[in-house]
Homo-oligomer: A and B are copies of this chain.
Amino acid sequence: MTPNQPGQAPKLPIAGVKNLVAVGSGKGGVGKTTVSVNLAVGLASLGYKVGLLDADVYGPNVPLMMGINKTPMAFGERIQPLEQFGVKIMSMGFLSPGDKPLVWRGPMLYSVIQQFLRGVDWGELDYLVIDLPPGTGDVQLSLIQTAPVTGAIVVTTPSDVSLEDARKAIHMFHQVRVPILGIVENMSFLICPHCSERIDVFSHGGGLRTAKQMDVHFLGELPLDPQIRIGGDSGQPIVLRKGEGEAFLTLARNAVARVDEVGKEQGPKIEIGE
């Protein structure tokens, strides 16, 4: 009933990819994909070379939120990622478009994720953002045990229920020795579009409080803004909009800074298969 020990499988580097940033959450529906998409597009708009791997194989929402859904081509044995808003993208949604559910068992999922990590022609990337499935299950564990993840971002809402699950996710990353870049509190507050008063729909401040309790960084608050949801539903990430996307650009800058810090804490990277 304990997780596998870290280091069972060697964490082979992915050629050309400098940093792997995993975006996870204990609970679904907290905005993990919204954060992943806007972080990736935000990093690209800051001038970095960026990829986005949608590892949420059961609910791949990246194609909808990025406004792109075509069948990727393969040259030789390498799958070519699609590209949108300057970000190279791979998603299960490209391979099984439509409403049919994937009811795959664990081992098959594992091989798909490995294919996405190592069988895709990512090229030279500063950041490969991985949108993990929510929770602390099979796919998450397999992925972070076999991929050289630089650090993880944990997304939560301020509600106690979401925070309860976020703590579980942080423990999971600790157990498999993936550094936590920080916690993001999403849906932090809503500004009423009618009266401009602030509404704490899902409470407020729990992300920062949890970060302090668990001694991890806090990467910031993101508002509950209908425009963010509209951006997602329409395939136009809000970070692209001047002014309105500022919160996500700040998040991207904070993530870059934390990746640098984590790199220094760990010293030079020497891969000796653990």
Contact = CB atoms under 8 A, between A and B. Distances in A.
Given A161-B232, A164-B64, A101 B169 contact: yes
B192 A199 contact: yes
A136 interface: yes
A193 to B, nearest CB: 6
Given A160-B64, A160-B233, A199-B226, A28 B99 contact: no
Please indicate which of the listed interface residues A29, A161, A169 has the most CB atoms of chain B within 10 Å of its own CB. A29
Nearest to A234: B160
Contacts of A164: 61, 64, 99
Contact of A59 (B27, B64, B203): B27
A193 B189 CA distance: 13
Integer count of this chain's copies in the complex: 2
Nearest to A197: B194
Interface stretch (A7-15, A102-110, A236-244): A102-110
A121 interface: no
Given A161-B65, A194-B192, A199-B194, A136 B102 contact: yes
A106 B29 contact: no
B30 A29 contact: yes
A126 interface: no
> Nearest 10 A-B pairs (CB), nearest first?
A29-B29, A28-B28, A195-B195, A101-B136, A194-B197, A101-B168, A160-B233, A3-B103, A99-B167, A58-B135
23 contacts: A28-B29, A29-B30, A33-B161, A58-B135, A59-B165, A101-B168, A101-B169, A102-B168, A103-B175, A104-B137, A159-B233, A190-B190, A192-B192, A192-B195, A192-B197, A192-B199, A194-B197, A195-B197, A201-B224, A202-B229, A203-B229, A203-B230, A203-B233
